[in-house]
């Protein structure tokens, strides 16, 4: 089957890209989706407590006033189910489903030099041909299930948070192990602890976490967001993370201790990701960061009753925000429950998984279920899993052996007409993702329009430009607090053998947007465009 454009993935990015390609560019377009339905991340992440930690009124599309205003969010942070319903609402409005095929996983894609076409193969042995291939597979979709000895022998069920099964899973009266304490794990533990007989949380690195302070949205708030649609849309293009808050312009050192504390207390009570923005230098300067890191530590110490457990939960070893900040609802309170236990893997590492549970250095534990909240092979993992072969038979896994090389995070040298939404080298995971996605989809669509108009056969970035882009990212990252985290998925540390390089673009969305716009204005400088 021949198409002008194939989009891989039917999440936030794939759906909008389909609308753009089909309805605005008039391209014959198909979306290929591995899942049974639309949703992407929000299709797979059905784990207990799954909820977005960006606020609902901005974790959505802003490209259409009608779509924005005709949807009513229920809570400050939307539940996984609510986001899925929202995406279904958008899909229905734009009539997207008819151009999506489900239950098909792309297992390879080869660029046919002579024909200037991509040949895409799915696990159902279906072949598709297209001129433009667009990855909308997301940044955090390649689940990382650690290779722990004995996993196959486990008699109970195990699950990964990002590949949660469709069926209803009960933890009632069950002995449950949870490995991992990132954003997902911090959401899972309080919910599972409510019904499990025993929940044992295995922690490799403790995580800073700020209260989410979730609440039902008031009628007035909802009305105001609709009334202020244009201002909100505009605001999301101005703030570094595409969130609805600016960073304070004032350093923490401009205030005496009492005033500092007042500001921190207020931000803590407000909750949410904006906590880090209450002073200008928390995310930038170690001395400012230290004050805030200690503040969080004290808050946790005040919540957790057992002093040894509190110590384990606060033995961070890295500055606040050097890893992805997390939000929580009663995470630390959960460790005051009688049926919850924390195992610090630094003191008591896992030796193997057994038939009946987990054997650690110090003991053998029985479990009915194991939850892996162990994160992802982030950003590059999902693209590599497509098994791409580019021009002249160049394999992506070889081309990226020293780390993902892209230009602007959007295209890869030697892989013509292949575009990436929210991939390595883009701000993606450091932003409110739908805001970044919209910028990407709009930029890519403009580019395709230009390519079609100029009768181009193919386009790819110049190798030098891509190398410089990677250097630029690492130069910026090296000066940032991100590099102070020993073990972070931003740098690929979580996956054995993964090249160590800073992966997302770290200088913020407005700066990134400006660079992309400049490239466009300069007639796509940095790209080689081959004309008919």
Which residue bears the tokens 């101005």?
Answer: 238
Contact 4/27 with Cβ under 8 angstroms? yes
Q: Tell me the closest approach of the beta carbon of residue 52 to ligand N01, in angstroms.
A: 4
Tokens of 201: 């949380």
Instruction: Kindly tell me which residue out of 6, 429, 437, 503 binds ligand N01, with binding defined by CB under 6 A.
Output: 429
Q: How far is CA 103 from the centre of its chain?
A: 22
Q: How far apart are the first and last CA of the chain?
A: 23
Residue 185 sits in the site that holds ligand N01 (CB under 6 A):
yes
| Closest to ligand N01 by CB, 101 or 495 | 495
Residue 161 sits in the site that holds ligand N01 (CB under 6 A):
yes
Length of the chain: 532
Contact 340/193 with Cβ under 8 angstroms? yes
Residue 160 sits in the site that holds ligand N01 (CB under 6 A):
no
Instruction: Kindly tell me which residue out of 46, 76, 175, 324 binds ligand N01, with binding defined by CB under 6 A.
Output: 324
Cα separation values, 427 from 155, 433, 434, Å: 41, 9, 11
| Closest to ligand N01 by CB, 183 or 200 | 183
Stretch that binds ligand N01, among 81-89, 126-134, 183-191, 260-268 (CB under 6 A): 183-191
Cα separation values, 80 from 72, 243, 455, Å: 15, 19, 42
Chain residue at closest Cβ approach to ligand N01: 182
Residue 180 sits in the site that holds ligand N01 (CB under 6 A):
yes
Residue 314 sits in the site that holds ligand N01 (CB under 6 A):
no
Stretch that binds ligand N01, among 121-129, 176-184, 278-286, 435-443 (CB under 6 A): 176-184
Residue 431 sits in the site that holds ligand N01 (CB under 6 A):
no
Instruction: Kindly tell me which residue out of 100, 370, 373, 503 binds ligand N01, with binding defined by CB under 6 A.
Output: 373
Tell me phi and psi for residue 164, to 5 degrees.
-65, 135
Q: Tell me the closest approach of the beta carbon of residue 139 to ligand N01, in angstroms.
A: 8
Residue 204 sits in the site that holds ligand N01 (CB under 6 A):
yes
Residue 344 sits in the site that holds ligand N01 (CB under 6 A):
no
- The radius of gyration of the chain's CA atoms, rounded to the nearest angstrom, is 23
* Residue 64, Cβ density class (10 Å: 0-12 exposed, 13-18 middle, ≥19 buried): middle
Instruction: Kindly tell me which residue out of 15, 140, 273, 353 binds ligand N01, with binding defined by CB under 6 A.
Output: 140
| Closest to ligand N01 by CB, 181 or 438 | 181
Q: According to DSSP H, which parts of 304-378 are helical?
A: 307-314, 331-334
Characterise 306 by phi-psi region: left (phi > 0), alpha (psi -120 to 50), beta (else).
Answer: beta
Contact 178/340 with Cβ under 8 angstroms? no
Instruction: Kindly tell me which residue out of 56, 104, 184, 354 binds ligand N01, with binding defined by CB under 6 A.
Output: 184
Residue 179 sits in the site that holds ligand N01 (CB under 6 A):
yes
| Closest to ligand N01 by CB, 182 or 404 | 182
Distance (Å, rounded) from C-alpha 432 to C-alpha 55?
9
Residue 276 sits in the site that holds ligand N01 (CB under 6 A):
no
Instruction: Kindly tell me which residue out of 209, 374, 414, 426 binds ligand N01, with binding defined by CB under 6 A.
Output: 374
| Closest to ligand N01 by CB, 241 or 404 | 241
Beta pairing class for 29-32 and 100-101: parallel
Instruction: Kindly tell me which residue out of 3, 15, 30, 52 binds ligand N01, with binding defined by CB under 6 A.
Output: 52
Q: Tell me the closest approach of the beta carbon of residue 292 to ligand N01, in angstroms.
A: 19
Residue 205 sits in the site that holds ligand N01 (CB under 6 A):
yes
What is 124-171 written as a DSSP string? TS-EEEEEEEEE---SS-SB-----TTGGG--SEEEEGGG--SS----
Residue 146 sits in the site that holds ligand N01 (CB under 6 A):
yes
Distance (Å, rounded) from C-alpha 177 to C-alpha 342?
10
- Chain residues binding ligand N01 by CB under 6 A are 51-53, 140, 146, 161, 179-185, 202, 204-205, 324, 345, 373-376, 429, 487, 489, 494
């Amino acid at each position: 089957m021949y198409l002008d454009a194939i989009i891989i993935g039917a999440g936030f990015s794939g759906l909008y890209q389909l609308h753009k390609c089909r309805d605005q560019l008039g391209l014959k377009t198909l979306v290929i989706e591995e899942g049974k339905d639309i949703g992407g991340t929000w299709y797979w992440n059905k784990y207990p407590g799954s909820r977005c930690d960006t606020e609902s009124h901005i974790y959505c599309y802003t490209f259409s006033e009608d779509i924005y205003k005709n949807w009513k969010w229920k809570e400050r942070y939307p539940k996984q189910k609510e986001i899925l319903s929202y995406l279904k609402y958008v899909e229905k409005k734009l009539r997207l489903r008819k151009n999506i095929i489900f239950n098909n996983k792309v297992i390879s894609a080869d660029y046919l030099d002579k024909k200037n076409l991509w040949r895409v193969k799915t696990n159902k042995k279906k072949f598709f041909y297209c001129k433009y291939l667009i990855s909308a597979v997301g940044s955090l979709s390649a689940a990382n299930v650690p290779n722990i000895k004995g996993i196959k022998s486990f008699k109970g069920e195990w699950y990964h948070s990002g590949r949660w099964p469709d069926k209803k899973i009960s933890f009632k009266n069950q002995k449950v192990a949870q490995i991992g304490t990132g954003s997902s794990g911090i959401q899972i533990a309080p919910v599972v602890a409510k019904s499990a007989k025993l929940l044992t949380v295995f922690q490799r690195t403790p995580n800073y976490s700020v209260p989410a302070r979730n609440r039902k949205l008031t009628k007035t708030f909802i009305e105001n967001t609709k009334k202020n649609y244009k201002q909100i849309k505009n605001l999301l293009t101005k703030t570094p993370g595409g969130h609805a808050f600016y960073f304070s312009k004032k350093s923490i050192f401009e205030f005496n201790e009492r005033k500092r504390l007042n500001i921190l207390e207020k931000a803590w009570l407000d909750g949410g990701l904006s906590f880090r923005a209450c002073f200008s230098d928390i995310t930038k300067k170690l001395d400012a960061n230290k004050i805030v890191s200690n503040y969080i530590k004290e808050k946790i110490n005040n919540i957790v009753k057992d002093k040894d457990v509190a110590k384990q939960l606060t033995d961070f070893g890295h500055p606040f925000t050097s890893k992805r900040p997390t939000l929580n609802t009663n995470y630390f309170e959960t460790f005051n429950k009688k049926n919850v236990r924390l195992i610090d893997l630094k003191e008591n590492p896992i030796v193997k998984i057994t038939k009946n549970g987990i054997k650690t250095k110090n003991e053998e534990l029985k479990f009915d279920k194991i939850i892996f909240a162990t994160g992802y092979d982030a950003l590059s993992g999902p693209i590599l899993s497509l098994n791409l072969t580019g021009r002249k038979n160049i394999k992506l896994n070889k081309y990226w052996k020293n780390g993902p090389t892209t230009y602007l995070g959007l295209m890869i040298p030697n892989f013509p007409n292949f575009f990436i939404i929210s991939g390595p080298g883009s701000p993606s995971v450091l932003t409110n993702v739908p805001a970044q996605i919209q910028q990407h989809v709009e930029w890519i669509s403009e580019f395709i329009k230009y390519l079609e108009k100029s009768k181009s056969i193919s386009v790819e970035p110049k190798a030098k430009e891509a190398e410089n882009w990677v250097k630029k990212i690492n130069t910026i990252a090296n000066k940032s607090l991100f590099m102070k985290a020993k073990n972070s998925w931003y740098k690929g540390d979580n996956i054995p053998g993964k090249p160590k390089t800073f992966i997302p673009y770290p200088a913020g969305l407005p700066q990134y947007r400006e660079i992309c716009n400049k490239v466009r204005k300069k007639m796509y400088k940095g790209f080689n465009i081959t004309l008919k």
